[in-house]
Chain A
């Protein structure tokens, strides 16, 4: 089973700064089947990025994804107040499970 490890656990930044979140897979992900979700307190997760680099519908272009193989990155170019949340990476497509990372909290 593929294990996803996210780092750092918590990222403390200010509005306007750049956020860089990492997700490392224990095995190479086929066809870059890696997604990123955002979750705010008391809310359901929201799909941000899939296929490692493709933004989901309605996602602002300050969110971008990169990477392949085992190393993936979510970048938020300039943090807006509404971007402070927990972010999860997830591998999908290659197995019947959908394994999530443990999450990175982006805090002010």
Chain B
């Protein structure tokens, strides 16, 4: 059974940093691109970033480019999102999501999400 479990969310001041983790199990983690998708309170879904299965290719939404860094440790079956220079508009539930190959950005499994609140 595929399981994705996010952690690392919390309250952080504007300008601060936070690192999210997503522990994966139930599938061959290194074989799949993984994404982060976020949802601001009461709002819709916004794709944030993706990393290839090997970790050598990444891509970001314009809204987080230069501030967020996605990475993965395939030996630990874990996905990460390092978030720097956080802004109030980054407040959201952050989901990690597994892609359904061969398609780009089609997500067949999601974690339960972790809430990030950026506020002073």
Contacts and interface: CB of A to CB of B under 8 A. Distances in A.
B44 A33 contact: no
Nearest to B112: A44
Given A92-B103, A97-B61, A98-B35, A47 B47 contact: no
Nearest to A44: B110
Given A50-B103, A93-B104, A100 B110 contact: no
A96 B59 contact: yes
User: Size range of the interface on B?
Assistant: 20 to 34
B68 interface: no
A46 B103 CA distance: 17
A86 B59 CA distance: 28
A79 interface: no
Interface of B: 35, 37, 44-47, 50, 59, 61, 95, 100, 103-108, 110-113
26 contacts: A37-B45, A37-B107, A44-B110, A44-B112, A44-B113, A45-B95, A45-B110, A47-B107, A50-B100, A50-B103, A90-B105, A92-B103, A92-B106, A93-B103, A95-B104, A95-B105, A96-B59, A96-B105, A97-B47, A97-B61, A98-B47, A98-B105, A98-B106, A99-B47, A100-B46, A100-B47
